[in-house]
Structure 1
Amino acid sequence: MDKNNIIYQLTGPYQYKQEIKKSIFLAHAIPVVSEDQVHEWLHKLRVSEATHNCWAYRIGQKYRSDDDGEPSGTAGRPILQVIEKQNFDQVLILVIRWFGGIKLGAGGLIRAYGGTAAQCLRQAPCAEYIPQKTASILCSFSDHALLKARITEYDAQIIAEEFGAEVEMKITVPEDAYNALYDRVLDLTRGQAVVIEAD
């Protein structure tokens, strides 16, 4: 597969710090799956005593960036370009700057914010991003053990199980395996189980 078509996601948070002309730049790279998570992390990580807290994120087709008082286009946009250039999805990068007394100029700021974000992402733990679908399988107790054993063949993960009049298994499964898993579940249970795709 062409490396350029591979999309990556972080497997955990990472931070990277460097000094550029007496200013300190601290980058945080955080895996995120929703805009709510972005706001929670920004609230948690931003340092009010720092000179600037600049950030960018990308979650699928949603992306935003913020220069937080730096000249327009010199901080948030370069961070977002790093995310795009390194083919990351579901990521937030926050770069915090403590001003050290030497002005960097527009070009210097773009290089400093972009470079700090790029170094952080390069070193961060990551894996290939595989789009997932979430679904629920409703089945009888007698089919539960069999289905539980067989769905792993499709790289499905059980994220929750509820036992009532029947069993509900909430699962995630790679998007490209969903249809095959759906057919297999119906086949194994002679059409008795129900598979409901989550919104």
Structure 2
Amino acid sequence: MSYKIAIAEYQAEYVVKKSRFIARLLPVRNREEVNAAVAKARADYPDARHHCWAYLLGPPADARGAGMNDDGEPAGTAGRPILNVLQHGHLGDVLVIVVRYFGGIKLGAGGLVRAYSAATREAVEAAPCRQREQLACWRARGDFACEQPLRHWLDQHGGYLDSVCYGEQVQLDLRAPAAQAETLAALCAAHRISLEELI
């Protein structure tokens, strides 16, 4: 499925009743990158009251992974509105963290939903993006030494590692641009990795 992805981190700010909502949008490929980005936002804005977020992995209308966090705001007033904007937007493989500085005037539940939604929408609509290449799914199996070259190849070719299973061999389920099928097959042949395309 074809969809757009952000090509760089982007930040937008929305102010209402003296409260600042700083929306940081960035491309992510997995939950580890989400966790690292949220930790960095907390470090960058340590004095903010809330660091609320939501992410989508995969296309916006059919994500294979999604998550959200209200970070102390009333339940459903921050993470859910951020996620709703992402699900109805044009970007996939995306994380939005909205950092809130309280301005002294309470917004109420409805006001919070509107503010978090508006901040997210501003970031989504203005972020630089490009079309993601069509991805295909493969399953690779080999000895444990094959994992590192596959991970490196995925990083270099815009691919993703969906899961790793360790047994007598290592099994890696991955997604990569369909146009790179020949180079992936060549890498696997060179490292004696069995490769099958998943439907």
Please say whether Structure 1 and Structure 2 have the same fold, judged by a TM-score greater than 0.5: yes
Aligned residue in 1 for 2:20: 24
- Relative distance call for 1:195 and 1:50 in structure 2 (3 A) is same
User: Which structure has the larger Rg?
Assistant: 1
5+ residue gaps, structure 2, are: 59-63, 139-153, 158-174
Aligned residue in 2 for 1:49: 47
- Relative distance call for 1:98 and 1:173 in structure 2 (3 A) is closer
How many residue pairs get matched?
156
- Relative distance call for 1:124 and 1:32 in structure 2 (3 A) is same
Q: Give the alignment's TM-score, normalised by structure 1.
A: 0.67
Aligned with 2:110 (options 107, 110, 113): 107
Is the contact made by 2:49 and 2:100 (CA closer than 8 Å) also made in structure 1? yes
Distance 2:68 2:176 in 1: 31
Q: Provide the secondary structure at the position in 2 that maps to 1:79.
A: helix
- Following superposition, the deviation at residue 35 of structure 1 comes to 0.6
Is the contact made by 1:133 and 1:178 (CA closer than 8 Å) also made in structure 2? no
Distance 1:34 1:158 in 2: 12
Query: Which aligned pairs between 1:148-167 and structure 2 lie closer than 5 A?
Result: 159=156
Which residue identity is paired with 1:130? E
Is the contact made by 1:9 and 1:89 (CA closer than 8 Å) also made in structure 2? yes
- Following superposition, the deviation at residue 159 of structure 1 comes to 3.3
- Following superposition, the deviation at residue 34 of structure 1 comes to 1.1
Distance 1:11 1:198 in 2: 30
1:96-123 deviations in whole A, cap 9, x for unaligned?
0000011111111111001100101110
Query: Which aligned pairs between 1:61-72 and structure 2 lie closer than 5 A?
Result: 61-72=64-75
Aligned residue in 2 for 1:129: 132
1:10-36 deviations in whole A, cap 9, x for unaligned?
001000112111001101001111111
Aligned residue in 2 for 1:84: 87
- Following superposition, the deviation at residue 158 of structure 1 comes to 9.9
Distance 1:64 1:134 in 2: 23
Is the contact made by 2:2 and 2:134 (CA closer than 8 Å) also made in structure 1? no
- Following superposition, the deviation at residue 39 of structure 1 comes to 0.7
Moved over 3 A (4+): 131-135, 157-160, 194-199
- Following superposition, the deviation at residue 64 of structure 1 comes to 0.5
Which residue identity is paired with 1:9? I
Distance 2:194 2:134 in 1: 18
1:53-99 deviations in whole A, cap 9, x for unaligned?
10001113111000111111110000011111113211110000000
Distance 1:15 1:33 in 2: 19
Aligned residue in 1 for 2:98: 95
Is the contact made by 2:14 and 2:118 (CA closer than 8 Å) also made in structure 1? no
Q: Give the alignment's TM-score, normalised by structure 2.
A: 0.67
Is the contact made by 1:6 and 1:87 (CA closer than 8 Å) also made in structure 2? no
Q: Pairwise CA RMSD of aligned residues?
A: 3.3
